[in-house]
């Protein structure tokens, strides 16, 4: 199906988020705090990358090679949020990112599942089945850690990452057109309000008393057209093998 430029940008932003957060999750494979988490993050990363492939598949023309598009585009052509791009070298940050992202992701797939476009809705319904396990994992692990976090490190991670995570809801510049077309019927602002209520309810349930300041972060992504400070190194690392010979067949 051929989508309008506005819808294409909407799906591209979601695809880039799924691709890059999946790639970031892979950095913990073999390095998690225990074997169960190595396996869990490996599975979650694989799912997120698969969802990214599915979303790219909706918008790419038949003559566009997926791997080249996903990995070799100029940095300014990506529409990912900063949370997906962020390098989390601390396990607590990676866990909190997982929870914040998957809380948002569940809402995004729910909105896409309600789309009148059959291909997008079908993909969303398939993804929701896997995402339910991702979110359950994040909630379970956050709850377990919160009960033993005497140093407040999880609270520190939430305070640091929640403002960055709010950028998930920075809409593409043409979101109004997407809504006008009826491709989706829920705006980013509406989803953001629901997400904010959910994450604050989670924190209250886990007994994590923390607040954060969004000033200077929210809106800084300029409709997702601005890359984060560490993106260039991340992008180069993603390209490391493919860029050796872009004409090779792997």
The per-residue pLDDT for range 198-229, each reduced to its tens digit, is 999 999 999 998 988 877 777 788 899 999 99
Confidence (pLDDT) at 219: 76
Number of other residues whose CB lies within 10 A of the CB of residue 201: 10
d(CA 119, CA 8): 13
Res 82 pLDDT > 60 = yes
Three-state secondary-structure class, residue 227: coil
Confidence (pLDDT) at 204: 93
Could you give the percent of the chain with pLDDT greater than 70?
90
Q: In which band, very low, low, confident or very high, does the pLDDT at 116 lie, cut at 50, 70 and 90?
A: very high
- Reference 112, options 97, 133, 126; nearest CA is 126
d(CA 17, CA 206): 27
d(CA 132, CA 47): 12
Q: Is residue 67 domain-resident?
A: yes
The mean pLDDT of the chain is: 90
Confidence (pLDDT) at 123: 97
d(CA 86, CA 230): 7
Give the lowest-confidence range in 72-86, 104-118, 212-226. Answer: 212-226
Mean pLDDT of 21-47: 77
Res 243 pLDDT > 70 = no
Mean pLDDT of 100-128: 97
Confidence (pLDDT) at 29: 73
Q: Is residue 250 domain-resident?
A: no
Angle between helices 5-25 and 91-113 (to 10 degrees): 150
* 103, 85 contact by CB (below 8 A): no
d(CA 106, CA 111): 9
CATH of the domain at 153: 1.20.1260.10
For the chain, the domain total comes to: 1
Could you give the percent of the chain with pLDDT greater than 90?
66
Model confidence pLDDT, tens digit, residues 133-163 = 999 988 988 888 877 766 688 999 999 999 9
Res 122 pLDDT > 80 = yes
Q: How far apart are the first and last CA of the chain?
A: 28
Q: Residue 149: give the domain boundaries.
A: 5-244
Q: How far is CA 129 from the centre of its chain?
A: 17
Confidence (pLDDT) at 217: 79
Helices and strands: H and E segment counts in the chain: 10, 0
Q: Is residue 34 domain-resident?
A: yes
Confidence (pLDDT) at 43: 85
Q: Is residue 190 domain-resident?
A: yes
Q: Is residue 249 domain-resident?
A: no
């Amino acid at each position: 199906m051929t989508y309008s430029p506005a819808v294409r940008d909407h799906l591209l932003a979601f695809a880039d988020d799924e691709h890059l957060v999946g790639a970031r999750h892979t950095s913990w494979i073999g390095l998690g705090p225990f074997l169960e988490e190595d396996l869990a993050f490996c599975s979650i990363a694989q799912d997120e990358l698969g969802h990214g492939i599915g979303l790219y598949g909706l918008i790419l023309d038949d003559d566009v090679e997926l791997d080249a598009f996903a990995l070799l585009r100029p940095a300014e052509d990506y529409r990912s949020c900063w949370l997906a791009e962020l390098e989390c070298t601390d396990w607590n940050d990676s866990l909190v990112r997982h929870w914040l992202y998957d809380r948002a992701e569940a809402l995004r797939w729910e909105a896409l599942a309600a789309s009148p476009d059959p291909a997008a809705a079908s993909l969303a319904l398939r993804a929701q089945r896997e995402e339910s396990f991702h979110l359950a994992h994040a909630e379970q692990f956050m709850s377990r850690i919160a009960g033993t976090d005497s140093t407040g490190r999880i609270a520190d991670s939430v305070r640091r990452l929640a403002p960055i995570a709010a950028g998930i809801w920075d809409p593409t510049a043409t979101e109004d057109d997407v809504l006008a077309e009826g491709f989706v019927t829920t705006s980013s602002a509406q989803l953001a309000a629901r997400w904010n209520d959910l994450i604050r309810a989670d924190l209250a349930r886990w007994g994590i008393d923390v607040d954060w300041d969004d000033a200077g972060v929210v809106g800084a992504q300029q409709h997702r057209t601005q890359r984060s400070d560490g993106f260039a190194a991340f992008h180069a690392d993603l390209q490391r093998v493919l860029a050796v010979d872009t004409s090779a067949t792997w």
